[in-house]
């Protein structure tokens, strides 16, 4: 993670801190427990950031006096020697997106869906344009959108399993990945509402399939149960209540996200649609894509 990404993460952390007070159905403060075979204490640029949070919940591991601390082996799931505990935030992503949309609508922002093949088309969409500034948040579309065509953009296939486990309130993760197939990891993320928990997952660069793989799903469930038997009240991974299987393509970019202002002239280029070709106008675009798994 580069410095710019760290600064965005810090800003997001503080934003969620405020939102957790006003909209706990969207964002909540939750304990985190990460396990490993080797000591991880002191690792992570964010260790000082999470220490600033107010710890309001317990991991169920005894007294918790610090927001960022070691967890000893007797208090860890079987099979791991070291652990780290801290407090941060989890959110319900679909509800959060609806919240943002509603907030924009309340300020009179219209929502219009229209397919475009070239960036220039976005400056004069019927019912909106003409406009002088466009925000390009097209994700994987920036790979092929005429006027952008960023060759550094690539998908990373992610597969998770959504389950119901209202009693699970702690986020879990594993820092040891050597025993897992390449591109897979172990994590458990309880959502703020509905008793739902996300289990994961995969990160497979340049894999375009959006169909769930059942062998992967079974491995996700088994690994999650090792970390947290409470997912099925200790009755085995087969008893975990599956809500649905999720597969998505994360919009990644080599070198990290592109977030910058570009001034440009519309109507220039041999392959532009006739509707915009030759219509020269000085405009600007804010590129905001390539965020990958960060949302």
Q: Which domain holds residue 135?
A: 112-152+255-294
Q: Which pLDDT score, from 0 to 100, does residue 52 have? A: 62
- 215 belongs to a structural domain: no
Same structural domain for residues 132 and 9?
Answer: no
On the question of pLDDT at 53 being above 70, the answer is no
For residues 105 and 5, membership in a common domain is answered with yes
Residue 142 CA: distances (Å) to CA of 23, 65, 139, 206: 33, 46, 6, 15
Instruction: Tell me: do 138 and 53 sit in the same domain.
Output: no
* Helix runs in the chain, H state only: 3-22, 47-51, 93-106, 214-227
Question: 187 Cβ partners below 8 Å, 6+ apart?
Answer: 171, 172, 173, 174, 198, 199, 200, 201
Is 229 inside any structural domain? no
pLDDT of residue 61: 46
- Reported as a single tens digit per residue, the pLDDT across 127-169 is 787 999 999 999 999 999 999 999 999 999 999 999 999 999 9
Q: Does the structure show a pLDDT above 80 at 291?
A: yes
| Residue 134 shares a structural domain with residue 273 | yes
pLDDT at 186: 95
In a domain, 171, yes or no: no
User: Is 272 inside a domain boundary?
Assistant: yes
Whole-number pLDDT of residue 62: 43
149's CB contacts (< 8 A; 6+ apart) are: 142, 143
Residue 222 lies in a domain: no
**In this structure, is residue 162 part of a structural domain?**
no
| 106 found inside a domain | yes
Query: Is pLDDT above 90 for 2?
Result: no
Q: What's the CATH number where 281 sits?
A: 3.40.50.720
Q: What are the tens digits of pLDDT across the range 162-213?
A: 999 999 999 999 987 778 889 999 999 999 988 999 999 999 999 999 999 9
Based on the domain organization, do 95 and 141 belong to the same domain?
A: no
Report the domain count for the chain. 2
Question: Is residue 132 included in any domain, yes or no?
Answer: yes
Query: Global pTM?
Result: 0.86
CA neighbor of 227 nearest in space, from 281, 275, 171: 171
* pLDDT (0 to 100) of residue 268: 83
Mean of pLDDT over the chain: 89
């Amino acid at each position: 993670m580069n410095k710019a990404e760290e600064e965005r993460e810090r800003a997001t952390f503080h934003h969620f801190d405020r939102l957790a007070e006003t909209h706990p159905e969207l964002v909540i403060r939750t304990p985190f427990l990460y396990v490993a075979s080797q000591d991880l204490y002191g690792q992570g640029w964010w260790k000082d950031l999470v220490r600033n949070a107010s710890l309001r919940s317990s991991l169920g591991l005894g007294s918790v006096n610090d927001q960022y601390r070691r967890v000893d082996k007797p208090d860890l799931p079987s099979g791991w020697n070291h652990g780290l505990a801290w407090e941060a935030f989890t959110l319900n992503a679909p509800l959060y997106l609806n919240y943002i949309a509603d907030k924009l609508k309340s300020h009179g922002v219209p929502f219009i869906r229209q397919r475009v093949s070239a960036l220039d088309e976005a400056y004069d969409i019927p019912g909106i344009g003409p406009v002088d500034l466009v925000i390009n948040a097209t994700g994987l579309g920036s790979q092929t959108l005429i006027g952008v065509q960023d060759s550094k953009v690539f998908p990373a296939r992610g597969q998770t399993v959504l389950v119901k486990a209202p009693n699970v309130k702690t986020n879990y993760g594993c820092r040891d990945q050597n025993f897992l197939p390449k591109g897979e990891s172990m994590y458990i993320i309880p959502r703020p509402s509905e008793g739902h928990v996300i289990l994961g997952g995969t990160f497979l660069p340049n894999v375009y399939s959006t169909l769930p793989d059942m062998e992967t799903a079974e491995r996700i469930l088994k690994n999650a149960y090792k970390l947290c038997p409470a997912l099925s009240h200790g009755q085995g991974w087969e008893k975990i209540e599956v809500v649905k299987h999720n597969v998505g393509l994360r919009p990644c970019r080599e070198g990290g996200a592109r977030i910058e202002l570009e001034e440009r002239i519309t109507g220039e280029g041999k392959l532009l649609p006739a509707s915009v070709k030759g219509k020269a106008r000085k405009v600007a675009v804010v590129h905001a894509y390539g965020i990958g798994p960060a949302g």
